[in-house]
Amino acid sequence: MLRVGYPASLALELFVDFPAGIELIPVSDKLEFDVEIEVWIPDPYPTRAMRAWPRLRGVKLIISMLAGTEWIPPLAGPHVTICNAQGAHNVATAEWVVAAILATLKYLPLYLDVQRSGVWKRRFDAPPHYAAITGDATPFHPPVMLEELAGKRVLLVGYGEIGKEIEHMLAPFRVELTRVARSARLKPKVHAAAELNELLPSADIVILIVPSTDETRGLIGAAQFARMRQGTLVVNAARGAVVNTDALVEALKAGKIRAAIDVTDPEPLTVDHPLWSCPNLLITPHVAASSPQFASNALRTAADELRRYINGQPLRHVVQKAI
């Protein structure tokens, strides 16, 4: 019988879609004895999974509950096949991106401060905020209290499954969307990553949803921020290392750009890290996919991979094939 290790903290009811003919073995980061399993579904908290790994024996296949698996190959080595949870968290992550954009453009962080102060007239903090971040000092009447998403020029950097879901969710807002991926495509029109620097100056919003690779590390740095127009909104739902942190801090403090980020480098941020106090920045602590459906969605993907593994069919989401 195929022995499948799973995070001991998960309820067995979540495994209702798993195929017959397997034995589910709970794996904790506090194991006091070795456990023999062939397939391992690691805890979605990598630090816990890393503590459990030394007690595991016989692992041939690892099925992650996360889309990002960059921490697994150094842990498991080259002789284990690794699959990620591609597609499992598309909706939650795409919704976070849209929510972060709207929260920023509608000045919700500012108005939360107004609410906490209990001073209605502080709403007039909004017009100078708009003028400072956009560089538009036009004397509007009535004054600008927020911005509209409709008609904004959006540069979507990363056009995998989550990128496509983001595009779908942005469609009702009638944005002008430009797609960027590793290589160019014709239908739909997708620009190659090599064109990124040329595309940045025309964007109002830059969404980053690329995988974490050597190619994407530091994709956005000082040179890219310099090419952005005044007040560009940078949204990072990819990995923190995709953006150079020092350059991000500098651009924010200079008032050149604004940003909404769910990921940071380093992660987690230390209490005294300068990002916490940067202006025009919305930070959430890597929670974009953490909805109540997280585990059920990830395990549904894992169940499909297990069926394929048992039946000798090609696995769908391989990020490392065992050698």
Each of the 323 residues of the chain gets a pLDDT tens digit; together they read: 999 999 999 999 999 999 998 999 999 999 999 999 999 999 999 999 999 999 999 999 999 999 889 899 999 999 999 999 999 999 999 999 999 999 999 999 999 999 999 999 999 999 999 999 999 999 999 999 999 999 999 999 999 999 999 999 999 999 999 999 999 999 899 999 999 999 999 999 999 999 888 999 999 999 999 999 999 999 999 999 999 999 999 999 999 999 999 999 999 999 999 999 999 999 999 999 999 999 999 999 999 999 999 999 999 999 999 99
Domains and their CATH numbers in the chain = 2-88+292-320 (3.40.50.720), 90-106+147-283 (3.40.50.720)
Q: Which residues are catalytic?
A: 239, 267, 286
Sheet holding 2-7, edge to edge: 22-27, 2-7, 39-40, 61-63, 81-83, 318-320
3-state secondary structure of 40: strand
Prediction pTM value? 0.93
Distance CA 191, CA 225 (A): 19
Residue ranges with strand state E in the chain = 2-7, 22-27, 35-36, 39-40, 56-57, 61-63, 81-83, 153-157, 176-181, 190-192, 205-208, 232-236, 257-261, 281-283, 318-320
Task: Output the CA–CA distances (angstroms, integers) from residue 47 to 52, 66, 71, 214, 289, in the order listed.
Answer: 9, 14, 10, 22, 18
